Structure 1
Amino acid sequence: MLRHKSAGIYWLLCIVSGMIWATPGFAQDDQSELIQLETITVSGEKQEEEVQRIPSAITVFTESVIEDAGIDEIGEVINRVPNMTFGETFLGGETIFRGIRPSQFTYKNPVIIYIDGIPHDHVYSFDADLNNIERVEVFRGSQGALYGKNAIGGIINVVSKRPDNLVDAKITAEYAENETYKVKAYADGPIVQDRLFLGLSGSWSQTEGFMENHYPGEDTFDDNESWRTKVLLNWLPTDRMKVDLHAGASHLRNDNGGPVIRSDEVRYHDTRDPDDKMNTDIFNFGLNLTYAWELMEFTSVSTYSDNQTDIRQNLNYYRSEPTWVGLWDAEYTMFSQELRFQSKKNDNGSKWLGGVYYSKGKEDTNEGGSIMNTEASLGYNTKLDYPGETDEETVSAFGQITIPLIEGLYFTAGLRYERVYKELNFRYTETRLDTNQTTKIAYDIEDDWSALLPKGTLSWHIMDNAMIYASISRGYLAGGLNPYDTVKERAKFDEQTSIDYEFGTKTQWLDDRLTFNMAVFYMDIEDMHVYSMPEPYVFVASNAGEAHSKGIEVEMMARPLKGLDITAQFGWTDAEYDEYEGYEGNKIQGTPEYTFNLAAQYRHASGLFARAEMQSNGETYYSDDNTDSQGSFELYNMKIGYEASRWNLYFYCNNILDEEYFSYGRSSSLGTLKEVGDPRTFGVVASVNF
Structure 2
Amino acid sequence: MKRNGIAGILAAVLLSAWSLPAGAEETYKLDPVLVTAEKRTENVQDVPVSVTAISEQQIKDSGIRSIQDVARQVPNLFIANWGFRGNSYAFIRGIGAVNNDPAIGFYVDDVNYMDSRVFDTNLFDIERIEVLRGPQGTLYGRNSLGGVVNIVTKKPDNEFHYGLEQTVGNENLYETTLYMRAPLIKDKLFFGVSGTSEQMDGYNTNDFLDKKVDRRRGLNGRMQLRWMPTDKLDVTANVDGEKVNDGVFPLTDMDQADKNPHHVSYNYEGRDKRDTLGSSLRVAYDAPWFKMTSITAYRGYNDVTRNDQDFMPYDLITAKEDIKDRQFTQEFRFASPEGSGPLKWLGGLYLYKKHQDHTLDLNYGQGAADMGMVPMAMTNTADSDIKTYGYAVFGQATYTLFDKLDLTAGLRYE
Which residue of the other structure, out of 381, 384, 400, is the alignment partner of 1:404?
400
Alignment coverage as a number of residue pairs: 387
Which residue of the other structure, out of 235, 239, 244, is the alignment partner of 1:252?
244
Q: Describe the shift of the 1:407–1:209 C-alpha distance in structure 2 as closer, same or farther (beyond 3 A).
A: closer
Give the secondary-structure state (helix, strand or coil) at the position aligned to 1:146: helix
> Contact (CA 8 Å) 1:254, 1:277: kept in 2 or not?
yes
Once the two structures are TM-superposed, the CA of residue 128 in structure 1 deviates from its matched residue by 4.2
The one-letter code matched in structure 1 to 2:222 is K
Once the two structures are TM-superposed, the CA of residue 330 in structure 1 deviates from its matched residue by 1.3
Question: For each residue in 1:174-207, what CA deviation from the matched residue of structure 2 results, as whole angstroms up to 9, or x when unmatched?
Answer: 1111111110010001011100101100101110
- Choose 172-181 or 273-282, whichever is displaced more: 273-282
Q: Describe the shift of the 1:68–1:113 C-alpha distance in structure 2 as closer, same or farther (beyond 3 A).
A: same
Which residue pairs with 2:94 in the alignment? Answer: 99
> Contact (CA 8 Å) 1:202, 1:230: kept in 2 or not?
yes
Which residue pairs with 1:228 in the alignment? Answer: 220
> Contact (CA 8 Å) 1:228, 1:249: kept in 2 or not?
yes
TM-score by length of 1: 0.53
Question: For each residue in 1:560-590, what CA deviation from the matched residue of structure 2 results, as whole angstroms up to 9, or x when unmatched?
Answer: xxxxxxxxxxxxxxxxxxxxxxxxxxxxxxx
Once the two structures are TM-superposed, the CA of residue 149 in structure 1 deviates from its matched residue by 4.8
Give the secondary-structure state (helix, strand or coil) at the position aligned to 1:64: helix
Matched, 1:237 2:237: no
> Contact (CA 8 Å) 1:143, 1:150: kept in 2 or not?
no
Q: Distance in 1 between matches of 2:251 and 2:66?
A: 18
Once the two structures are TM-superposed, the CA of residue 347 in structure 1 deviates from its matched residue by 5.8
- Choose 141-150 or 178-187, whichever is displaced more: 141-150
Once the two structures are TM-superposed, the CA of residue 212 in structure 1 deviates from its matched residue by 2.0
Which residue pairs with 2:322 in the alignment? Answer: 329
> Contact (CA 8 Å) 1:41, 1:48: kept in 2 or not?
yes
> Contact (CA 8 Å) 1:148, 1:338: kept in 2 or not?
no
Matched, 1:263 2:258: no
> Contact (CA 8 Å) 2:66, 2:123: kept in 1 or not?
yes
Which residue pairs with 1:589 in the alignment? Answer: none
Matched, 1:351 2:344: yes
Which residue pairs with 1:146 in the alignment? Answer: 139
Give the secondary-structure state (helix, strand or coil) at the position aligned to 1:39: coil
Which residue pairs with 2:294 in the alignment? Answer: 300
Q: Distance in 1 between matches of 2:351 and 2:40?
A: 22
> Contact (CA 8 Å) 1:111, 1:121: kept in 2 or not?
no
- Choose 75-84 or 301-310, whichever is displaced more: 75-84
Q: Distance in 1 between matches of 2:211 and 2:27?
A: 53
The one-letter code matched in structure 1 to 2:236 is D
Matched, 1:157 2:150: yes
Q: Describe the shift of the 1:149–1:288 C-alpha distance in structure 2 as closer, same or farther (beyond 3 A).
A: farther
Question: For each residue in 1:258-311, what CA deviation from the matched residue of structure 2 results, as whole angstroms up to 9, or x when unmatched?
Answer: x44453756211124454111111112111111111221111110100011000
Which residue of the other structure, out of 30, 54, 58, is the alignment partner of 2:51?
58
Give the secondary-structure state (helix, strand or coil) at the position aligned to 1:236: strand
Q: Distance in 2 between matches of 1:347 and 1:336?
A: 30
Which residue of the other structure, out of 387, 391, 394, is the alignment partner of 1:391?
387
Write the mapping of 1:168-317 to structure 2, written as runs, cut at 5 A: 168-216=161-209, 218-257=210-249, 259-263=250-254, 267-273=261-267, 275-317=269-311
Q: Distance in 1 between matches of 2:403 and 2:53?
A: 28
Q: Distance in 1 between matches of 2:177 and 2:26?
A: 35
Once the two structures are TM-superposed, the CA of residue 382 in structure 1 deviates from its matched residue by 2.4
Q: Which runs of 5 or more structure 2 residues have no equivalent in the other structure?
A: 1-11
Q: Describe the shift of the 1:317–1:297 C-alpha distance in structure 2 as closer, same or farther (beyond 3 A).
A: same
Which residue pairs with 1:628 in the alignment? Answer: none
> Contact (CA 8 Å) 1:297, 1:343: kept in 2 or not?
yes
Which residue pairs with 2:5 in the alignment? Answer: none
Q: Distance in 2 between matches of 1:375 and 1:339?
A: 60
Q: Describe the shift of the 1:339–1:347 C-alpha distance in structure 2 as closer, same or farther (beyond 3 A).
A: closer
The one-letter code matched in structure 2 to 1:220 is K
Matched, 1:376 2:371: yes
Q: Distance in 2 between matches of 1:404 and 1:153?
A: 27
Once the two structures are TM-superposed, the CA of residue 146 in structure 1 deviates from its matched residue by 1.8
Q: Distance in 2 between matches of 1:130 and 1:213?
A: 29
Write the mapping of 1:491-510 to structure 2, written as runs, cut at 5 A: none
Which residue of the other structure, out of 67, 70, 89, is the alignment partner of 1:74?
67
Q: Distance in 2 between matches of 1:234 and 1:63?
A: 21
> Contact (CA 8 Å) 1:256, 1:272: kept in 2 or not?
no
Q: Describe the shift of the 1:332–1:163 C-alpha distance in structure 2 as closer, same or farther (beyond 3 A).
A: same
The one-letter code matched in structure 1 to 2:47 is I
> Contact (CA 8 Å) 1:119, 1:149: kept in 2 or not?
no
> Contact (CA 8 Å) 2:238, 2:281: kept in 1 or not?
yes
Once the two structures are TM-superposed, the CA of residue 384 in structure 1 deviates from its matched residue by 0.7
Give the secondary-structure state (helix, strand or coil) at the position aligned to 1:174: strand
Once the two structures are TM-superposed, the CA of residue 34 in structure 1 deviates from its matched residue by 6.4
The one-letter code matched in structure 2 to 1:98 is R
Q: Which runs of 5 or more structure 1 residues have no equivalent in the other structure?
A: 1-23, 419-690
Once the two structures are TM-superposed, the CA of residue 121 in structure 1 deviates from its matched residue by 3.6
Identity of aligned residues (%): 27
The one-letter code matched in structure 1 to 2:282 is N
> Contact (CA 8 Å) 2:281, 2:296: kept in 1 or not?
yes
Which residue of the other structure, out of 127, 130, 138, is the alignment partner of 2:123?
130
> Contact (CA 8 Å) 1:221, 1:255: kept in 2 or not?
yes
Once the two structures are TM-superposed, the CA of residue 89 in structure 1 deviates from its matched residue by 2.7
Question: For each residue in 1:579-620, what CA deviation from the matched residue of structure 2 results, as whole angstroms up to 9, or x when unmatched?
Answer: xxxxxxxxxxxxxxxxxxxxxxxxxxxxxxxxxxxxxxxxxx
Q: Describe the shift of the 1:288–1:128 C-alpha distance in structure 2 as closer, same or farther (beyond 3 A).
A: farther
Q: Distance in 2 between matches of 1:36 and 1:79?
A: 28
Once the two structures are TM-superposed, the CA of residue 122 in structure 1 deviates from its matched residue by 1.2
Give the secondary-structure state (helix, strand or coil) at the position aligned to 1:124: helix
> Contact (CA 8 Å) 1:148, 1:356: kept in 2 or not?
no
> Contact (CA 8 Å) 1:118, 1:285: kept in 2 or not?
no
More strand by share: 1
TM-score by length of 2: 0.87
> Contact (CA 8 Å) 2:104, 2:143: kept in 1 or not?
no
Q: Distance in 2 between matches of 1:87 and 1:81?
A: 14
The one-letter code matched in structure 2 to 1:270 is V
Aligned-pair Cα RMSD in Å:
2.4
Question: For each residue in 1:138-164, what CA deviation from the matched residue of structure 2 results, as whole angstroms up to 9, or x when unmatched?
Answer: 111111222365511111111111100
Q: Distance in 1 between matches of 2:282 and 2:253?
A: 45
Higher relative contact order (CA 8 A, sep 6+): 1
Q: Distance in 1 between matches of 2:116 and 2:251?
A: 17
Q: Distance in 2 between matches of 1:322 and 1:37?
A: 62
